[in-house]
Structure 1
């Protein structure tokens, strides 16, 4: 009898997951067949057959994913539901999450250091690359295609999931637009017309080499007007537009609306946002690492310019060595292998939270100079914890909401999910005047208490 009682208690504590509907199983089967076709394309030595397998894979993956999103989220009432997140093996660091993490990290390792193993996949995209860029495909075109497809397909999922929120719909459409238009099609078309490949939605210090003397020299060589404009665009966006836009809108204008890294995190990484570490120890490591990365890239950029001036010739090998070190450790290992490969294990914003120098730069501006804040009304908070659960930047939002304190954190990317999931309307994203920025929510809280009394 004792054993039976224990089994009953365990069953009540961990109820079984609801059965998957047949229609959802069918769409997931299409996705699985698409992944299988992708493996066939990667293994087939015959280019024609491999290309057919690739087209079949992309069709099944695209159709299956969008159909699955429609079935899963379209047939139930609108609203964010966080049921069973910590019971599913795919969203709670279970076996499925570990397998997916290993696959993603393995792909990045091959992409950066062993692209020859991806050669057959790369060759399947030659016709597409020729039509868009006027040249054969390489590993970066393969990566860009997969990356953009992930943002678009999982962006479609997000549009279904958050269809009740106008802010989330516009924000998701924005990152999809910038990834497809500015980070994929436009750079390809520039190559087609024999112009320098340039990503207008990435700025220094995230796209760290855009203000390096070598890149600047390459773009302005022969006095080409477009190259000069590219240098001007990058410098103005990094040093002028970024502070101005951040003053008015916080870092969300970039991190949650424009950036490709943030775009992937907000779409493909959405199922894993609850995995971000909310502990104070994690916050300490965040501060130590991300600002060290920012200082490192500022130092490297300055040293490269001093070396390029010829004033200190001995700096040339040192600055180039530091540049290569940054490119390997930060540009490849941190942003790629860890930043994306660890989505299913550590959440989708590991790179944005701990390593991105652009996020650090924007965060400093947001915390000390911006009008942006998330106001809270503690009198209405019921401590459900939904807000903290969805914060991918590791902010324990509930603690602020309970005290009625405004959230003014350097790490906050302004995704707005905390406000979207709040059942009582406690949290509001605001771009109010800087005067009273820290006291605004305290006044709301005191007014609410006076009314209640």
Structure 2
């Protein structure tokens, strides 16, 4: 009977999951001039420019987001070409300037003073200042510099009057959401309740039989299942996660039906329609809660793990999801009070600082709170409780890893090679975050965009793309079914590196061993999500001193001999040699 219930639950979940995925193909896209006006309200110049090149898009019906956004791309490209043509030199003008200015001191007044349009003339006179007075002996050299100026002017004017890539990406999503028509847009609440209600029901039914299994750890054929041991189903699930993050970060216009589905929830919480990252926050929170229930059932015999699971569920629901949205309803800055720099790598960005400083007492509190957490909260809490206080009890990344990612914890690589890579990458990301933040603050206080010869805006862009998006999202979560549930925490999280350094050298917390009792069963190493070969330490009676240990306590819970213990004690206790075996061999710390 239990297997029947489980199979029914899996079937129900699969049906509604596939229905959820398929809804991105529901509905049509039809953009009207009125709709453009609504989305580009207050942007009259951009609106006029776009509409003058969007005749093939306006009032046309597209059956999918791919063809619709392709038409938008074409309209934006034509608009930008108009800007480029406005400020470009004609071929005749270019050759005339080359003929007149060759083998003499270049004069910007003579070269560009005759340009027909005043604004065009002004831009060329400004951007070509560096050419004034130079002597060009070959037409190729002069042509190259003129074309370089033309390219720079075009880029500047596109940023000012046209659409740069960042603007295009933002407008494509906004216009796609405005243009979307269909059953989900018309009945968002009904679809929301149907799909999410059905998926949650199926998930709960699937895990219900766990209540009737024996308490304690049970592998339940983990190493034989396709989903949990790098089989076809696991690869498919991982591919879906990777694709989801790529679309979320870079092509959100293709998930508009999913976003429209959560609009009613967003309006109820913050008084405005949802965006792609509201959808992500909702899905993230739902996964933590539902899979958290699974963890509560699985660890029902362990008070420590039940409290720890309830903690990550609480912090995700309240601090990471509800409070930031309610703050927006009150016209306050979006702020996750549990998110700490450098994990929250944008905390010291200029727009964030200005936003907090402009929001009175609450904004000042947010700024001071964030700084105190970094400088005082982290070292103090790690000293007393180890990095587990954050990584296993509070952090949203850790919360998802401990709930949704728990079925994959045994896939973490325990090899020495993996450990070497881990130490290099995680500390490398921390150094990158520190340098990037120093550059950002330097720009904020000096208004200079160059720090040690590096453009700080480019630096933050590279960090956001490589670390914030690709590493933390696409790889960090998408690789759960291939590399285990703590890929980001182990190899990339800069805050985990900071916490680990403090824990390694100054903390009262350790996982200690009861020397001589280890029977080398390997349970501890198998279930260590951070890739620590715990058995190696236990066999030698050594305490677990690895900086990466998040103190989840699973190794202790699955040990049949009680060898491992989570302990907060005097630091001297951890430096005492441990006696093991009949010969009482002393091993150093």
Q: TM-score, normalised by structure 2?
A: 0.70
Q: Structure 1: how far apart are the matches of 2:466 and 2:450?
A: 24
Structure 1 unaligned segments of length 5 or more: list them.
1-18
Q: Does 1:67 align with 2:205?
A: yes
1:57 is aligned, of 163, 188, 195, to 195
1:274 is aligned, of 402, 407, 410, to 410
User: What residue is the counterpart of 2:446 in the other structure?
Assistant: 310
- After superposition, the CA RMSD in angstroms is 1.8
Q: Structure 2: how far apart are the matches of 1:337 and 1:153?
A: 22
Structure label with greater radius of gyration: 2
2:368 is aligned, of 226, 229, 232, to 232
Q: Count residues in correspondence.
A: 428
Residue by residue, what CA displacement relative to the aligned partner does 1:83-133 show, whole Å, maximum 9, x if unpaired?
422111111101011000100000001000000110011011111100101
Q: Does 1:429 align with 2:566?
A: yes
User: What residue is the counterpart of 1:34 in the other structure?
Assistant: 16
Equivalent residues in 2 for 1:124-163 (5 A)?
124-163=261-300
User: What residue is the counterpart of 1:10 in the other structure?
Assistant: none
Q: Structure 2: how far apart are the matches of 1:114 and 1:89?
A: 30
Q: Structure 2: how far apart are the matches of 1:249 and 1:206?
A: 20
Q: Say if 1:104 and 1:314 are closer, same or farther in 2 by CA, change over 3 A.
A: closer
Q: Structure 1: how far apart are the matches of 2:525 and 2:415?
A: 11
User: What residue is the counterpart of 1:241 in the other structure?
Assistant: 377
Q: Say if 1:308 and 1:49 are closer, same or farther in 2 by CA, change over 3 A.
A: closer
Q: Secondary structure at the match of 2:12?
A: helix
CA shift, 1:162, in A, is 0.7
User: What residue is the counterpart of 1:210 in the other structure?
Assistant: 347
Q: Secondary structure at the match of 1:378?
A: coil
Equivalent residues in 2 for 1:92-103 (5 A)?
92-103=229-240
User: What residue is the counterpart of 1:25 in the other structure?
Assistant: 7
CA shift, 1:446, in A, is 6.8
CA shift, 1:176, in A, is 0.2
CA shift, 1:448, in A, is 10
Residue by residue, what CA displacement relative to the aligned partner does 1:156-186 show, whole Å, maximum 9, x if unpaired?
0000001111110000000000000000000
Residue by residue, what CA displacement relative to the aligned partner does 1:181-212 show, whole Å, maximum 9, x if unpaired?
00000001001111110001101000011133
CA shift, 1:21, in A, is 1.4
Q: Say if 1:432 and 1:310 are closer, same or farther in 2 by CA, change over 3 A.
A: same
CA contact (8 A) 2:188 2:263 kept: no
User: What residue is the counterpart of 1:183 in the other structure?
Assistant: 320
Residue by residue, what CA displacement relative to the aligned partner does 1:295-329 show, whole Å, maximum 9, x if unpaired?
11111111121222228563397111101100000
Q: Structure 1: how far apart are the matches of 2:459 and 2:194?
A: 44
Equivalent residues in 2 for 1:319-398 (5 A)?
319-398=456-535
Q: Structure 1: how far apart are the matches of 2:188 and 2:331?
A: 29
User: What residue is the counterpart of 1:197 in the other structure?
Assistant: 334
Q: Say if 1:283 and 1:117 are closer, same or farther in 2 by CA, change over 3 A.
A: same
CA shift, 1:50, in A, is 5.7
Residue by residue, what CA displacement relative to the aligned partner does 1:212-251 show, whole Å, maximum 9, x if unpaired?
3431122112x61100000011111111111000001100
Q: Choose between structure 1 and 2 for higher RCO, CA contacts under 8 A separated by at least 6 residues.
A: 1
Q: TM-score, normalised by structure 1?
A: 0.91
Q: Does 1:76 align with 2:213?
A: yes
Q: Secondary structure at the match of 1:429?
A: strand
CA contact (8 A) 1:37 1:54 kept: no
